[in-house]
Each structure stands twice: as structure tokens, then as C-alpha cells.
Structure 1
Amino acid sequence: MTQHASPPRDTAGPTPPAGRLPGRRGLPARADVRTLSLLGVLAALVGIGGVTEPDAFLDTRNLQLVLTQASVIGVVTVGMTFVITSGGIDLSVGAVVALASVWATTVATQEYGFAGILFTAVVVGLGCGLVNGLLIAYGGMVPFVATLAMLASARGLALQITDGKTQIVTVDGILRLGERDSYVLGLPPLVLVFAGVTVLGRLLLNGTTFGRRTVAVGGNAEAARLAGIDVRRQRLYLYLLSGLCCGIAAFLLIVLSGSGQNTNGNLYELDAIAAAIIGGTLLSGGRGTVTGSVLGVLIFTTITNIFALNNLQSDVQQIAKGAIIVAAVLVQRRSASTS
């Protein structure tokens, strides 16, 4: 009796549908481990602060201060996370925050009250993001060069607007947001805004087509283009998103300080990039996590607070931050080589 050979079994798994990019296996598990590790580091820092300065560090007002200080740079970091995930970089975020804050606090703008200040800050941030996006996506400029040029231009314009002087806010609605009477469930309004931006950013990156396209562009722009993604338009949207986050952060900074200064946002670009990297966002693109980036911000802010309470010099603090960044990059490289 003739026996028919059974057809060979496919051991490679199902073929991904046309127009879709295959995902990497094991990423959720690694992301969970990374998040737990960051939470462990943050818990250790809280423990150190509680041991070295228990009365000052664990005081409710100090913890509120840590969260408030993390809010401004945290909003910037959420936008930076999207840009880095796409394989780009934005060196102009600190300068854009400064420009938006001083433009929104001029005497002419303050005449329009609360809404005028908020609107101006957001529009200036979006405008700078639009310029960055057009230069990079449609002008073919390297992100490093384009955003570096924006950094210099925005800082120069901020200095020109203020003439080197501090612009004091006189709008009651803005000033009241910084008072304890405006706290909700013991949390300052700035923290609530930061929490809202974080939740929306996480949903956008992890649960929408926009987020999947961002990851695809960062992983392999040419493959994303062949899969039907308009890479240039996606990059434009991402820099607009970064600019929007800068505008929101500028408004929060105005509320926090009650003023606008051309020195606002100094080194925000470095802090945002560092927080995103230690949070698990891949510097070369293709992987990003808003949750990790926010934990990175909280870790850096907590370190700064502990150093300040213990009267340690800022240069030691910068060395510690640098060591953390180097360690995070080395871990990323090792993880990438074993994946």
C-alpha cells in the first residue's frame, strides 16, 4: 500500500499580515522587569532620604515639593520619549520652555489674563515644534542639527524679549494655582496635570495606531515606509507633540515660579533625555516607555532633593547622575545584544 508523505509542518510561526511589521517577542516581560527595577531604585532612594534626613525628607510638604518639581521636567520628558522612540532627538526643549514662558508673561499677554497666558505658552511651543518638524521631516535636516539651531534661536529670542530681566506675573488666577488652597486631595494642580499628561502619553504610545507607527519608524524607517506609513508626516507630528509638551511645561513653570525668565528650562534637554534613557527608551529608536521615563524623572528629582537636604555639593550630584546614565546605556547595550 502506498503511503503519502504528510506535508511539512511550519515551525516558523504564522506569517505577519501584509502591511504590518512583526513585533519583538519578550518585550512586555522585559518591560515589566525594567519597571520593577526602577521602582526598586526609587524605593531605595526614598529609604536613603528617610534615613539621612527623616524629619525633612518624609515631611508631607517636602514630598509635595518633589512631585511638583518633577512635574515640569516630567511633561517635557513625555514628549521627548516619543521623539527618541522614533529615532530622533530634540535638543531644543529647554530653550522652547524658556521662550514660551517669557512670551506668555509679557505685559501685553498678561492683559488677556489666565487664558491668554495658557494659550500663548501652548502656541509658542507648538510653533517651535512645527519649525523643528518641517526642517527635519521635509527639509531633510538631521534632528541634532535642526534642534540645536532651534535651541540657539529660542534662547536668543527669549533674551531679547526679556532684556535679561525677570517678568513678574500679576494675574490672580495664575498665582492662586500655586497656593495650597488649590490643592486637590493633597496634590498640587501641577502634579495633577503631570499625571494627566503621563496617562494620555502612555495610552497614545501603547494603545493607538499613532504609537505603533512611532515605534515602527524608530525601529526601521524604510520598512515602515514600505508598510504604508507616511514617515515624514509621522515625524512632523512627533515634533509637534514635543513642542506641545514644552508649551504645557512652560505654563506649569510660570505657575510654579510666578514669573518668566530667559534662563528657564536650563539643561532640560539633558535631564529629559537622561530620564528617558534610564527609563528604558532606546536611544537608537524602536522602543519607548512613558512609564519608565516618568520613573526616571522621579529618580532624578529625588536624588536632587536628597542632595539638597544633606547639603551636598551640586558637582557630586552631577557626577552621580552621570554615573546612572552610563550604567543605563551599558544595560541597554547588553540587553540589545542578547535580544
Structure 2
Amino acid sequence: MSQDSVRVEKAALHTATPQSSLAAVMGSGVGRNLGLVVALIVLCVVGVATAGDNFASVDNLLTILRLASVIGVVSIGMTFVITAGHIDLSVGAIAALASVWCTTLATQTMAEDIHWIVMVGTALLVGVACGLVNGLLVAYGGIVSFIATLAMLASARGLAEIIADRRTQIVKVDGFADFFRADLIGIPMLVWMFALVSVIGWVLLNRTTFGRRTVAVGGNPEAARLAGINVRRHTVMIFGLVGLCCGIAAVMITARTTTGSSTHGTLWELDAIAAVVIGGTLLSGGRGTIVGTVLGVLIFTTLSNVFVQNDLSSSAQAVAKGLIIVVAVLLQQRLAGRSSHTT
């Protein structure tokens, strides 16, 4: 009986080791990113098979990258917020307010007299200011980030409507639009901006004390506080960072459409959260990945493009996005459960 038990245990160990190794690989950052790359390739193959040259053309590729750039910048900021254990529902409204504020008659007149950089500075300041207000309400006001940013969503969108009088403001400063709509070695300036923000975000999250503190705060705020991290101040800085990303995105959408409007950024918060979750950042906090977020943005943008190329309805597209989000969260939970059992 004892010999049989020993043989059974040895066989179990022999068969369980490859499975646990596979689970460990798939649960690692490399494994998750590899899965996202495969998913993106599959989408591209489907696009080529169903839409042919219309999808595979260089112009369509640049269109995908251009569309991914704006929401991608917002998603980079959202990655930090979610990694820290919070959420921001106001990113779209903040971007709308920043776009309206930087295109007011007074701002554009000042930009014409000085330089179009005034419009950029205005958008960035508005974004950072709104982000800092969110951070202060969460960190020092004790308000849950869901509620604080929900209030900012309503307030920022309403203020944008008041400033613009519910009208679309046209950009009349030629230098502003010319610069941000230009191409650099054949690649749109907006794509270069997204790439730069992504690289800076990756370095900030993976190679700096700020990034390590963000992960620590999201994993266990009390342990982070006992380790000497000023959790409240760091929370304010994180929300200020996502506000800055909203300001950058506002500049990008304003340049792309040559308008400032209170309707800009509608549902950006959902798209950004979806991209971050698909990328592998834990909604509960404590783990974040910039590379995964970039891949998540590209997956959703490519998916939308495939639907458009095949004249499929936006409703079907929304259903597909919802299913992808649910599957991604279920996979996260499953892999997290396996890793906890193996450890």
C-alpha cells in the first residue's frame, strides 16, 4: 500500500511539473504579452482575409495607429491609476474640458500674439489641475476614487459645455494644426507622441522609484505606508499624472479634428479601462504593464477597424468588446489562482 502511494505521488509530481511551469510562463508578463501579440496577429489575419487590400494598405495601417494614439495616451495614464488600486472615470471629460479651454477666443488670440505653444500649455495645465483635484479628494478627502472621478466627469463635462456654450470651437491658429497634423519620416506626429508617452511611461513604471511605489501602494497601501511611502502624496501625484495624459490627449484630438468641443472624449474612460485590463494590469491593483496596455489599445483599435472595413454595426462591435473584456478578466482570475496555489 505504501509503495503504491509512493508511485502515485511520483507520477503526480512528474505530470504536474510541466503544467505548473506552463502556468507560470503564461502567468508571467512575457506570456501575457505573447498572448496579446498572437491575438493582434489573428485580428490582422482576419482583417486581411475579410477586407483584403483595403485592410492591408499602408494608409489603413496609419489610420489604425493614428486612432490608437489618442486613446493610447489616456490609457498609459490609466495604467498608473489602476496599478495603484484606483480608477478614473473622468478622463474623457477632462480631455473635453482641456480641448475647449485651449480653443477659447482668448486663448487663441494669445496664441496668435505669442506662439501656439500657449494652447498646448493651457490644455496641459487644465488636465493636471483636474487630475490634482481628483487626487486631493481621494487622498485627503477620503472619497472613493470611483465617486470622486464620477463627480469630476459630470463637473468637467458641464463646465466644458458652459465655456463653449455647447458650440464647437474651431482652431484658427494655423501653426498649431500644421505641427501636430504633420508627418515625420512618413509617420503621423500623433503616433510619435503616443510612442514617446509609452516609452516614458514604461521607464517611469519599471525603472524608477515612482513606479515601484505605485505598485507597492496598489498591492498593499498599509504595508506601503509602514515602509515609509507617503501614500496620500503619491496618490495625488498619480492622479496628476493621468490628468497630464488627458491634457496631452486633448491637444492631440484638438489638432486631429481642428476643433475644441465638450463632446470630445465621450466613453474614453471605458475604452481606456478596457485596454488596460486586456493588457494584463490587475483591476485590484499591485500589477501594471505598459507594454500590455499598448497592445490592448492596438487590439481594440484593430478590432474596430476590421468591423468598419466589413460594414458591421457598432452594436456588434460593442458586444465583441464586452466579451473580450469578460474573457480577459476571467483569465486574469484563473492565472492568479494558479499562481497562488503553486506558490
Distance 1:229 1:71, change over 3 A: same
Residue 194 of structure 1 deviates from its aligned partner by 0.3
SS at match of 1:67: helix
**Aligned equivalent of 2:338:** 338
Provide Cα deviations, 1:294-334, integer angstroms capped at 9, x if missing partner: 11000000111111111100000000000000000000111
In 2, Cα distance between the equivalents of 1:29 and 1:80? 22
Distance 1:313 1:116, change over 3 A: same
**Aligned equivalent of 1:104:** 102
Q: Which amino acid aligns with 1:321?
A: K
**Aligned equivalent of 1:89:** 87
**Aligned equivalent of 2:176:** 174
**Aligned equivalent of 1:238:** 238
Instruction: Give yes or no for the alignment of 1:205 onto 2:167.
Output: no
**Aligned equivalent of 2:34:** 36
Gaps of 5+ in 2: 1-23
Q: Which amino acid aligns with 1:136?
A: V
Residue 337 of structure 1 deviates from its aligned partner by 1.1
Q: Which amino acid aligns with 1:229?
A: I
Residue 173 of structure 1 deviates from its aligned partner by 1.1
**Aligned equivalent of 1:257:** 257
**Aligned equivalent of 2:64:** 66
Residue 185 of structure 1 deviates from its aligned partner by 1.8
Report which stretch shifted further, 106-115 or 258-267.
Answer: 106-115
For residues 38-53 of structure 1, what are the structure 2 equivalents within 5 Å?
A: 38-53=36-51
For residues 119-268 of structure 1, what are the structure 2 equivalents within 5 Å?
A: 119-177=121-179, 179=181, 182-268=182-268
Q: Which amino acid aligns with 1:323?
A: L
In 2, Cα distance between the equivalents of 1:166 and 1:224? 46
In 1, Cα distance between the equivalents of 2:110 and 2:204? 32
In 1, Cα distance between the equivalents of 2:185 and 2:37? 23
Cα-Cα RMSD = 1.2
Query: TM-score when scaled to structure 1?
Result: 0.90
SS at match of 2:335: helix
Gaps of 5+ in 1: 1-25
Distance 1:284 1:298, change over 3 A: same
For residues 16-27 of structure 1, what are the structure 2 equivalents within 5 Å?
A: none
Residue 186 of structure 1 deviates from its aligned partner by 1.5
Q: Is the Cα contact below 8 Å between 2:123 and 2:247 reproduced in 1?
A: yes
Residue 112 of structure 1 deviates from its aligned partner by 2.5
SS at match of 2:184: coil
In 2, Cα distance between the equivalents of 1:48 and 1:278? 19
SS at match of 2:167: coil
Q: Which amino acid aligns with 1:102?
A: V
Runs of 4+ deviating beyond 4 Å: 26-29
Q: Which amino acid aligns with 2:62?
A: Q
**Aligned equivalent of 2:302:** 302
Query: TM-score when scaled to structure 2?
Result: 0.89
Residue 171 of structure 1 deviates from its aligned partner by 0.8
In 2, Cα distance between the equivalents of 1:28 and 1:311? 35
Residue 178 of structure 1 deviates from its aligned partner by 5.2
**Aligned equivalent of 1:77:** 75
Q: Which amino acid aligns with 1:185?
A: I
**How many residues matched?**
312
SS at match of 1:111: helix
Residue 29 of structure 1 deviates from its aligned partner by 6.8
In 1, Cα distance between the equivalents of 2:304 and 2:194? 19
